[in-house]
Amino acid sequence: MTEYITSEREQKIDFVNTTDLEEGAAKVIPKGGYGYIQSGAGDLITYKNNVKAFDKKVIVPGVLRDVEDPDTSVDFQDMHLTAPIIMAPVAAHGLAHVEGEKYSAKGVSNFGSIFTASSFASTTLEDIREAGGQDANQWFQFYMSKDNGINDQIIETAERNGSKAIVLTADATLGGNREADKRNHFTFPLPMPIVAAYQSGVGQTMDAVYKSAKQKLAPRDVEYIASHTDIPVYVKGVQSAEDAYRSLESGARGIWVTNHGGRQLDGGPAAFESLETVAEAVNGRAPVVFDSGIRRGQHAFKALASGADLVAIGRPAIYGLALGGATGVEQVFNFFKDELALVMQLAGTQTIDDVRKFTLRDAW
């Protein structure tokens, strides 16, 4: 296998928006790795609609509202966050930077938010915890093994390394039709140490990686995880009220609305189109996390106003990692926070609680 050489940068980034980040990262990340990170499934219809869907709602400006210096911070469970913007789980950060998840975790921790480590990380949970710091807020995204003995070991490792939630990904029991990977003949050049007991990662296609994990997921799997840990279990990949009910009834203590960034089922709904329905079904019984398509502060605002407790970003943070290391990741999070604060003031909202009470209007 050809040696995989990627970014070693640790610097401030000169960028205006997330399009700049995407274009810059394409020049730094090797073609196969960039194609894996950037692209989506099939004709990219759902991938593109994830961003377009936000335009179906508008934010009517609020004036004479006595607002100045909006506060983006939130208290979530036992954590104080700089903003309700967290790191979504993304596989193999080492594709974008030699320090991989270590620098991502450091950047997110420096910003003051939650880092969600993927089962398919290119770094151990021990190293991720050390990089983020002992007081870092970290969650663990779980692809279950077909062997519950291995599952028990992985859960125990996550708990031992300070994970404050287990996020079961339920929408990726096999890989979507990712044509960029096929064109690039992409196979993983890096190991996956967290799941080494059932998948090495090196030399494998993404489809092979997914197929090595458990495919036949059911409510009993949520029940199993919940019975083997005291930390909250979130179900990630929920896009309908029915699946929200099923998840909560199985013991989930959090719901994650996402379509995997448009990387799984092309032709499905944009994630934002599903958010309000799912949030209404949950009805405050559990936190709702949202991702897929967040590229602007106004997108975060609209998601929060539509029922999300937290919003998560993936690709933009990985682009920041490639272009600027830990510093770049922190910059990207500050970009979203600053844009969110600007939108909050123009909308006449002082706090995140105000945003959650804000009523969006359908676009003309």
Render pLDDT for 279-331 as a digit per residue (tens, 0 to 9). Answer: 999 999 999 999 999 999 999 999 999 999 999 999 999 999 999 999 999 99
Cβ-proximal residues to 24 (8 Å cutoff; 6+ apart), any chain: 13, 15, 319, 322, 323
Q: Return the residue matching tokens 């991702």.
A: 291
Q: Is the distance from CB of 176 to CB of 201 less than 8 angstroms? A: no
DSSP states along 9-64: --S----SSHHHHHHHHHTTS-HHHHHHHH--STTSHHHHHHHHGGGGEE-----S
Position 341 in a domain: yes
CA distance 307 to 285: 12
Please check if 100 is assigned to a binding site.
no
pLDDT mean across residues, the chain = 97
CA distance 310 to 94: 26
Position 248 in a domain: yes
Please check if 145 is assigned to a binding site.
no
| CATH classification at residue 50 | 3.20.20.70
Please check if 169 is assigned to a binding site.
yes
Q: Which amino acid is at 216?
A: K
What 3-state class would DSSP assign to 244? Answer: helix
Position 207 in a domain: yes
Please check if 315 is assigned to a binding site.
yes
Q: 111 — phi, psi (to 5°)?
A: -70, -40
CA distance 11 to 328: 7
Position 1 in a domain: no
Please check if 166 is assigned to a binding site.
no
Please state the separation of Cα 264 from the chain's center in Å: 14
Q: What is the pLDDT of residues 155-197, one digit of tens each?
A: 999 999 999 999 999 999 888 999 999 999 999 999 999 998 7
Q: How confident is the model at residue 201 (pLDDT cuts 50, 70, 90)?
A: low
Q: Is the dihedral of CA 154, 158, 164, 169 positive or negative?
A: negative
Q: How confident is the model at residue 59 (pLDDT cuts 50, 70, 90)?
A: very high
What pLDDT, on the 0 to 100 scale, is given for residue 121? 97
Position 204 in a domain: yes
Return the number of other C-beta atoms located less than 10 Å from residue 44's C-beta. Answer: 16
Domain limits at 25? 18-57+77-362
Cβ-proximal residues to 217 (8 Å cutoff; 6+ apart), any chain: 144, 168, 170, 173
Position 7 in a domain: no
Q: Does the pLDDT of residue 68 top 70, yes or no?
A: yes
- Examine the residue annotation and report whether 260 is marked as an active-site residue of this protein: yes
Return the number of other C-beta atoms located less than 10 Å from residue 183's C-beta. Answer: 12
CA distance 158 to 180: 32
Question: Which residue is catalytic, options 93, 97, 260, 299?
Answer: 260
Please check if 30 is assigned to a binding site.
no
Domain count, the chain: 1
Please check if 89 is assigned to a binding site.
yes
Q: Is the distance from CB of 89 to CB of 118 less than 8 angstroms? A: yes
Q: What is the CA radius of gyration of the chain?
A: 19
Q: Does the pLDDT of residue 353 top 70, yes or no?
A: yes
Please check if 235 is assigned to a binding site.
no
What pLDDT, on the 0 to 100 scale, is given for residue 2? 78
Return the number of other C-beta atoms located less than 10 Å from residue 174's C-beta. Answer: 13
* Cα dihedral 156/326/175/216 (nearest 10): 20
Q: What is the pLDDT of residues 99-144, one digit of tens each?
A: 999 999 999 999 999 999 999 999 999 999 999 998 999 999 999 9
Position 33 in a domain: yes
Position 139 in a domain: yes
